[in-house]
Structure 1
Amino acid sequence: MIDNRIKFRHLQCFIEVVRQGGVVKAASHLSLTQPAVSKKIRELEDMLNVELLDRQKRGVVLTRHGEIFLRHALSSTSALHEGILSVERASNEAHPPISIGALPTVAARIMPAAIACFKQRMPNTSVNIITGPTPVLLDRLRVSELDVIIGRLAEPDQMQGLLFEQLYLERITIAVRPGHAALVSGLDPFALLATYPVIMPAGDSIIHNSVERFLIAHGITLNKNQVETNSHAFGRAYVMDTDAVWLISRGAVVRDFEEGALIEVPVDTRDILGPVGFSRRVGADISDALAFLSECVRAVSTTVTDDQIAGI
């Protein structure tokens, strides 16, 4: 028998603790206090009369009962979200809202022009653009919190139940500040990576593995003075204020190169070109508004394809 004391907040807190790997991060993401989230988890476990989470020093791990309950909790919240969206669409049928997940490189390079194109025809349609690491965006896509993701192709095991449509290929580049000592001395790009502080893509990003394969293929051993980040704002500020060397998707910094705010180090990285495109749920409905926005994205993508792989 279903315990009618179980509320949506119980499910929301449980799912977010699992996603974030701990109560502290989940509380921050939900804008709740840590004690409030912990209380909801304890209440849920008491109502189910089982332990759902194994509390460890490094975070939480699902118990066997937790794994079983998580599948149904995700289905329940997804169904509720779909119901809310259906009501919203019914009340505003002409202009359904759109939620787009975009990696930072896409948000910076593709979406401004695509949204401008879209708004010319549908100025009253709400578009929500959400950035973040690929695993987080994929989770939100699966539970219908996002209509589509525009970014790099994820690993095969992460694409189950999803479709991918390639838009263009994007490469990794190396960026430094104007006036960097290595530009004056003509230091070899690979020696540059072994000599100066390095900004690497964060470990949960798709391009992290690509960068590591590139370094291994060229026999490059980075010095220990390195930082990992997915934040373009931090990376840009850090590389401009120091002698750090930034390994980053070219699309995220191409405007900085065009404006002279950053300098691109000439190095051939074509062997780690990565496909960028749409990721969608299999069988998901595509509204007229989403279809038109997708066309705008495709149109903008054709204008940047050569720009992404040229200049080597």
Structure 2
Amino acid sequence: MGNLKRSRQVKIRHMQCLSEAVAHGSLKGAAEYLGLTQPAMSRTLKELEEILGATLLRRSRAGVELTEAGEIFAHFARMSLAALDHGLDSVDRTQGGLLRQEVTVGALPSVAAGLLPRVAEEFRRLAPEAVLRLSDGPHGMLIDLLRSGAVSMVIGRLGDPAVMQGVSFTQLYTEEVVSAVRPGHPCLAAPSLSDLTRWPVIFPPSTAAIRPLVERWLISHGLSEPPQRIETVSGAFARVHARDTDAIWMISRGVVRNELADGRLVELPFDMSLTKGPVGLMLRQDAERTPLEGVFLKALHAAIGALGYDVS
């Protein structure tokens, strides 16, 4: 079946059911949230699997989990639903002919956690009546949102050239990757690079912008990818897992800036300067900046200066 025919068969209800099943971890919880019966929920998901010709969910007494095909489709389903919500919100705000002033920004997790809270506070001071809409996520997803117009700018690391077609990049500062562990971790007594082979490692996945930099750093030290690794860009998961286990978290400094500052995590004393890379502002090359976006950029540069980021 061709992609065009299949895309016409996939409905919003299919994507909503899949997204909520994943979010709730069970068909029962998702059905209640959507106001459906559980049989209706199951039928809708079965329809979607038949349209795609692939199994998307594994069901068990413990709940549901995505297959590999399900992971891929769920990612794009969430993006599609987010873009739809953005469009509906924009229509609502144009009622009466007046579009409410807003800035829409996408940010990689390292920026969202470390820099954006200060930027948001400065922007509120400069434009108290404006709405700031923030989205965070992996690099590829944010670039797709930028191209679709769902966000007007993205702040993050420079991506692969193939991904950056039609997108401009202006460097704001540089940042390196750190290896962080919980206080009291056994390896803190005598830290060694071999710890990356002895302990579980929370590692950037292949889609992460920092993955090539981390791989280059490992090769420079004669190391291969950690054998015990969990690949994820989820800061929510990694913060809890690194705090509660002996896992070593390899992540951009900005993501854990606050945790390192207050002692919730400890940086291992490895020289990771080879992982330093540019973080910048990404725009569509054909985009025209609005006056309010100019105010946001003023707040952005003020926050970078106040926090002492390396702008060299």
The TM tier, using the shorter chain, reads 0.7 to 0.9
Secondary structure at the residue paired with 2:207?
coil
Identify if the C-alpha distance between structure 1 residues 89 and 11 changes in structure 2 by more than 3 Å, giving closer, same or farther: farther
Identify if the C-alpha distance between structure 1 residues 115 and 223 changes in structure 2 by more than 3 Å, giving closer, same or farther: closer
1:39-89 CA distances to partner (integer Å, 9 max, x unpaired)?
A: 6899xxxxxxxxxx86356539xxxxxxxxxxxxx9xx99x9599569739
Identity across the alignment (%)? 30
1:46 is aligned to none
**Higher mean C-alpha deviation, range 193-202 or range 222-231:** 222-231
Secondary structure at the residue paired with 2:288?
coil
1:291 lines up with 2:301 in the alignment:
no
1:49 is aligned to none
Secondary structure at the residue paired with 2:134?
strand
Q: How does 1:84-123 map to 2 (within 5 A)?
A: 84=90, 88=94, 91-92=97-98, 95-123=100-128
| In 2: Cα distance, 1:86 partner to 1:275 partner | 38
Root-mean-square deviation (Å): 3.7
Give, in angstroms, the shift of residue 202 of structure 1.
Answer: 2.5
1:59 lines up with 2:64 in the alignment:
no
Which AA in structure 1 matches 2:53? R
Identify if the C-alpha distance between structure 1 residues 111 and 92 changes in structure 2 by more than 3 Å, giving closer, same or farther: farther
Could you tell me which of 238, 250, 253 is aligned with 1:250? 253
Q: How does 1:29-40 map to 2 (within 5 A)?
A: 35-36=43-44
1:174 lines up with 2:184 in the alignment:
no
Give, in angstroms, the shift of residue 198 of structure 1.
Answer: 0.8
Give, in angstroms, the shift of residue 35 of structure 1.
Answer: 4.9
Identify if the C-alpha distance between structure 1 residues 308 and 259 changes in structure 2 by more than 3 Å, giving closer, same or farther: farther
1:50 is aligned to none
Could you tell me which of 268, 271, 274 is aligned with 2:274? 271
Q: How does 1:1-312 map to 2 (within 5 A)?
A: 13=12, 24=18, 35-36=43-44, 55-56=53-54, 59=69, 81=87, 84=90, 88=94, 91-92=97-98, 95-184=100-189, 186-188=190-192, 190-304=193-307, 306=309
| In 1: Cα distance, 2:206 partner to 2:20 partner | 20
| In 1: Cα distance, 2:125 partner to 2:233 partner | 32
| In 2: Cα distance, 1:122 partner to 1:10 partner | 44
TM-score using structure 2 length: 0.73
Give, in angstroms, the shift of residue 251 of structure 1.
Answer: 0.8
TM-score using structure 1 length: 0.73
Identify if the C-alpha distance between structure 1 residues 139 and 222 changes in structure 2 by more than 3 Å, giving closer, same or farther: closer
Identify if the C-alpha distance between structure 1 residues 306 and 34 changes in structure 2 by more than 3 Å, giving closer, same or farther: same
| In 1: Cα distance, 2:281 partner to 2:263 partner | 31
Q: Is the 8 A contact 1:134 1:154 kept in 2?
A: yes
Which AA in structure 1 matches 2:249? W
| In 2: Cα distance, 1:115 partner to 1:214 partner | 33
5+ residue gaps, structure 2, are 24-32, 35-40, 56-67, 71-79
Q: Is the 8 A contact 1:98 1:126 kept in 2?
A: yes
Identify if the C-alpha distance between structure 1 residues 227 and 59 changes in structure 2 by more than 3 Å, giving closer, same or farther: closer
| In 1: Cα distance, 2:150 partner to 2:168 partner | 17
Which AA in structure 2 matches 1:187? P
Give, in angstroms, the shift of residue 25 of structure 1.
Answer: 5.4
Which AA in structure 1 matches 2:241? Y
Which AA in structure 1 matches 2:209? I
| In 2: Cα distance, 1:26 partner to 1:308 partner | 41
Q: Is the 8 A contact 2:174 2:310 kept in 1?
A: no
1:13-59 CA distances to partner (integer Å, 9 max, x unpaired)?
A: 59x97xxxxx9459869x975754776899xxxxxxxxxx8635653
| In 2: Cα distance, 1:290 partner to 1:124 partner | 14
1:276-303 CA distances to partner (integer Å, 9 max, x unpaired)?
A: 1111111212221111111111221234
